[in-house]
Structure 1
Amino acid sequence: MASLKKNFIYQTGYQVLATALPLITTPYINRVLGAEQLGTYTYAANIANYFTIFAMLGFNNYGSKMIAATKHNENELAHTFSSIRKLQRLMATVVVAIYLLFVSLCIPENKPLYFIESLWIINCFIDINWFFWGLEKVKLTVTRNLIIKLITLSGIFIFVKTRKDILIYAFILVIGTILSDLYLVSQVKKYIKGTRTTFYEMIIHIKPCITLFIPVVAMSIYQQMDKTMLGLLSTYEQVGYYSSADKIVNIPLGIITGLGTVSLPRIVSLISEKKIMEYKKVVEKSISLVMFMCSAIAFGILAVSQEFVPLFFGSEFLPCVSLISFLAFVIFFKAISTVIVNQILIPNDNERYYIISVFVGAFINLILNYSLIRKFDAVGAVYATLISELIVCFVQIFVCFKYLNVLKMLGKNFQYIILGVLMYASVRGVAEHITNISLFKRNVIEILVGGAFFSGACLVYWTVKRDDTFYPIVITVLNKIKWKES
């Protein structure tokens, strides 16, 4: 359990820093590129991402799971890694060839941008993050990612100066990831020795990979198809508005969903060792943590969006305010779904339920996007995303009743939603009385008021109720403070 806590601290610390970096680059990029160019890039990146999903064939979840299951046997670990790696290289090679043919024959404009985006697919040939997640070597991946992100940030400010620099921007983003993954490849020899695997040892991974690949494909439909369909049914400008609003929601969401990525290997170990009670406690604490963080972030975003958008994106992106107001609630559904998938369904070998829920959401999202985007543009895409994510979440809660009553766990943490609503009311109340100062000062005051109110209210609740998840942390921190003072 200690290593799980340490890994989550590393991951959370990294996600906080990773969150801060886009908060620096996004205002700059949105102003330099503008809504239309930003939408052009987002649309091209989405197309390339569909091919990337096929190239990875579910290796991230499956590879992490298999490495976690074999890490205590050096020989078995080496064979597992080598066979999965060969299959990954084969898939990446095939998909890169198909993508280049697709761009050459089917893309009438912006071809240089699409060819640069092919580097994301080529990177699938070397991406072995799943190996280190399976070994729970979170510190290694976090340190490496942070360094590369800092280099990428510097490159954006140095080389991206005008709206014509969209190709440079696209290249900087992808080359950072490639360098990051190349570093991980150089570290593999520290953990396993070279080994030969047969063709049969490679192909036996195809079926389980496809099992996890199918929901990933369906997942991309309702997580990314909205931007693709906006580009087809509306304008690149609307794509720019939607992608900017979506970014504001997904930046902090990475902090929350990082819990699922970090905990998967440990959950698999607990289940294999029949430590069911310990397993249930981990899930319960994960739900509590997710509800606490989601309430703070979602209602916080909702509370400051009116003043934050014009300050952060510029006046050109004012339509994002209404989009963010609805998308903020997607944070709850995505975070809860991440816990269910990574801590209940996948570890218990019930990926089929995951697949069912995702296909239900993908189908609904596709239908809603087609009908709503035509009428409401980006707002229609937001409605479609919100409804489909809600349905997926409820389907997953229902199918995992066999293992754990997630609905009951969520009910026990409903107080965080109440505190979030009260925080929202307090921030908006303050906002009405500070309209005569600059946008920057208003944002700072609103964030400080919201943060102070929510954290203070939670501390009171944890202390009064002796909360199992957070109260021990509070006591530990207070004891350390007292010890230092003495």
Structure 2
Amino acid sequence: MASLKKNFIYQTGYQVLATALPLITTPYINRVLGAEQLGTYTYAANIANYFTIFAMLGFNNYGSKMIAATKHNENKLAHTFSSIRKLQCLMATVVVAIYLLFVSLCIPENKSLYFIESLWIINCFIDINWFFWGIEKVKLTVTRNLIIKLITLLGIFIFVRTRKDILIYAFILVIGTILSDIYLISQVKKYVKGIKTTFYEMITHIKPCIALFIPVVAMSIYQQMDKTMLGLLSTYEQVGYYSSADKIVNIPLGIITGLGTVSLPRIVSFISENKIIEYKKVVEKSISLVLFMCSAIAFGILAVSQEFVPLFFGREFQPCVSLISFLAFVIFFKAISTVLVNQILIPNDNEKYYIISVFAGAFINLILNYSLIRKFDAIGAVYATLISELIVCFIQIFVCFKYLNTLKMIGKNFQYIIFGIVMYSLVRKVAILIKDTSLLQRNILEILFGGAFFLGVSIIYWEIKKDSTFYPIITTFLNKLKQKHNH
């Protein structure tokens, strides 16, 4: 359990820093590129991402799972890694060729941008993050990711100066990821010896990979089709508004869902060793932690959005206020779904229920996007996303009853939602009292007040209830402070 805690600390620490970097670059990029250029880039990146999904064929979840299951057997680990890698390279080669043909024949404008985006697909040749997740070497991936993100940050500020620099911006973003993955390739020899695998060993992974690949494709429909359909049915400007609002929601979501990534290998080990009690405790603590964080972040975003958007994005992006206010609640549905999928469905080899839930959400999202975007533009895409994510979450809660009473686990943490609602109400009252101050001062005061209130009332609750997830952390921290004071 100690290594799981360390991995989560590394992952969370990295996600916090990764969150801070977009908070620095996004205001700059939005002002430099503007809504239309930002929408143009987002639309092109979205198209390329569909091909990237096909190139990766579910390797991230499947590869991590298989490596975790074989990491204690050196020979099996080598065979598993080598055979999955061969299949990955084969898929990447095919998809890169198809994408380049597609751009040449079907894209009438901005071809240079689309060719730069092809580097994301080419990177699928070397993306082996799944291996290091599987052997629980989270610190390694976190360290190099942070370094690359800092270099990317500097590159954006140095080289992206006008609206004409959209190609430079696209290249800087992708080249950082490529350099990061090249570094991981150089490190893999420390953990796996070179070994030859047969064609048969390679193709045995196709069926289980496709099982995880199908829901990833379906998920991309309601996570990315909104931007694609906005570009087709509305304008690039609306894409720019929506993608900016979506970014604000997804930045903190990365911190929350990081738990699912680092905990999957440990969950697989508990199940294979039939340690059901330990397994249940991990899931319970994960849900408790997720709802605590979701409530603080979602209601926090809702509370400060009116002052945050004009300060962060600029007056041009004022339409983002209503978009962000509704999208904030997607954080709950996505975070809970991540825990259910990574800690219950996938470890118990029940990807089929995952597929059913995702396809249901994707189908509903497609229908709603088509009707709502045409009438309401970006806010229509927001409504479609909210409804789809809610349906997916409820389906997954229902199917997980076979293993654990997840609805009961969620219900036990409902108090955090109450805390969030109260925090929102108080922050809005504070906003009225300080309305004559500058935007920057209002944002700082609102965030500090909201954060202090939510954390304070949570600590009081943990102390009274002797909460099994958070109370031990508080007592450990206080004991360490006492020991330092005594010395």
1:308-387 equivalences under 5 Å are 308-387=308-387
1:302 is displaced (CA, Å) by 0.3
d(CA) in 1 for partners of 2:414, 2:242? 30
Amino acid at match of 1:175: I
2:347 counterpart SS class: coil
What TM-score do the two structures reach when normalised by structure 1?
1.00
1:434-453 equivalences under 5 Å are 434-453=434-453
Q: Deviations over 1:310-356 (max 9, x none)?
A: 00000000000000000000000000000000000000000000000
Amino acid at match of 2:459: L
Name the structure 2 match of 1:241.
Answer: 241
Amino acid at match of 1:426: L
Name the structure 1 match of 2:476.
Answer: 476
2:125 counterpart SS class: coil
d(CA) in 2 for partners of 1:6, 1:426? 35
- 2:159 aligned with 1:154, yes or no? no
d(CA) in 1 for partners of 2:367, 2:13? 39
Q: Deviations over 1:209-259 (max 9, x none)?
A: 000000000000000000000000000000000000000000000000000
d(CA) in 1 for partners of 2:140, 2:178? 16
Amino acid at match of 1:121: I
Name the structure 2 match of 1:137.
Answer: 137
d(CA) in 2 for partners of 1:441, 1:282? 40
d(CA) in 1 for partners of 2:321, 2:130? 37
d(CA) in 2 for partners of 1:400, 1:172? 41
1:255-334 equivalences under 5 Å are 255-334=255-334
d(CA) in 2 for partners of 1:188, 1:411? 43
Name the structure 2 match of 1:408.
Answer: 408
- 2:183 aligned with 1:180, yes or no? no
List, as ranges, runs of 4+ consecutive aligned residues in structure 1 with deviation greater than 2 Å.
Answer: none
d(CA) in 1 for partners of 2:81, 2:53? 20
d(CA) in 2 for partners of 1:415, 1:161? 47
Name the structure 2 match of 1:23.
Answer: 23
Name the structure 1 match of 2:98.
Answer: 98
d(CA) in 2 for partners of 1:127, 1:28? 29
Amino acid at match of 1:141: T
d(CA) in 2 for partners of 1:3, 1:425? 40
1:426 is displaced (CA, Å) by 1.0
1:391-430 equivalences under 5 Å are 391-430=391-430
2:146 counterpart SS class: helix
d(CA) in 1 for partners of 2:338, 2:71? 24
d(CA) in 2 for partners of 1:464, 1:360? 42
Identity %: 88
1:459 is displaced (CA, Å) by 0.4
1:275 is displaced (CA, Å) by 0.1
d(CA) in 2 for partners of 1:171, 1:465? 52
d(CA) in 1 for partners of 2:484, 2:136? 32
1:208 is displaced (CA, Å) by 0.3
Name the structure 1 match of 2:462.
Answer: 462
Q: Deviations over 1:256-315 (max 9, x none)?
A: 000000000000000000000100000000000000000000000000000000000000
Name the structure 1 match of 2:125.
Answer: 125
Name the structure 1 match of 2:11.
Answer: 11
Name the structure 2 match of 1:206.
Answer: 206
Name the structure 1 match of 2:110.
Answer: 110
2:469 counterpart SS class: coil
d(CA) in 2 for partners of 1:44, 1:81? 32
d(CA) in 2 for partners of 1:99, 1:182? 22
d(CA) in 2 for partners of 1:122, 1:415? 46
Name the structure 2 match of 1:53.
Answer: 53
Amino acid at match of 1:6: K
d(CA) in 2 for partners of 1:282, 1:76? 27
- 2:90 aligned with 1:72, yes or no? no
Amino acid at match of 1:299: F
d(CA) in 2 for partners of 1:97, 1:339? 36
1:485 is displaced (CA, Å) by 1.2
1:432 counterpart SS class: helix
d(CA) in 2 for partners of 1:12, 1:149? 15
1:109 is displaced (CA, Å) by 0.3
d(CA) in 1 for partners of 2:305, 2:108? 38
1:65 is displaced (CA, Å) by 0.2
1:469 counterpart SS class: coil
d(CA) in 1 for partners of 2:214, 2:419? 38
Q: Deviations over 1:426-484 (max 9, x none)?
A: 11110001011100000000000001100000000000000000000010111111111
Amino acid at match of 1:277: I
Q: What stretches of structure 2 of length at least 5 have no aligned partner?
A: none
Amino acid at match of 1:64: S
Q: Deviations over 1:9-48 (max 9, x none)?
A: 0000000000000000000000000000000000000000
Q: What stretches of structure 1 of length at least 5 have no aligned partner?
A: none
Name the structure 2 match of 1:224.
Answer: 224
What TM-score do the two structures reach when normalised by structure 2?
1.00
d(CA) in 2 for partners of 1:43, 1:467? 45
Coordinate RMSD, CA, aligned? 0.3
- 2:47 aligned with 1:38, yes or no? no
Amino acid at match of 1:250: N
2:433 counterpart SS class: coil
Amino acid at match of 1:414: F
1:189 is displaced (CA, Å) by 0.5
Aligned pair count reads 486
Amino acid at match of 2:288: S
1:126 is displaced (CA, Å) by 0.5
Q: Deviations over 1:166-199 (max 9, x none)?
A: 0000000000000000000000100010000000
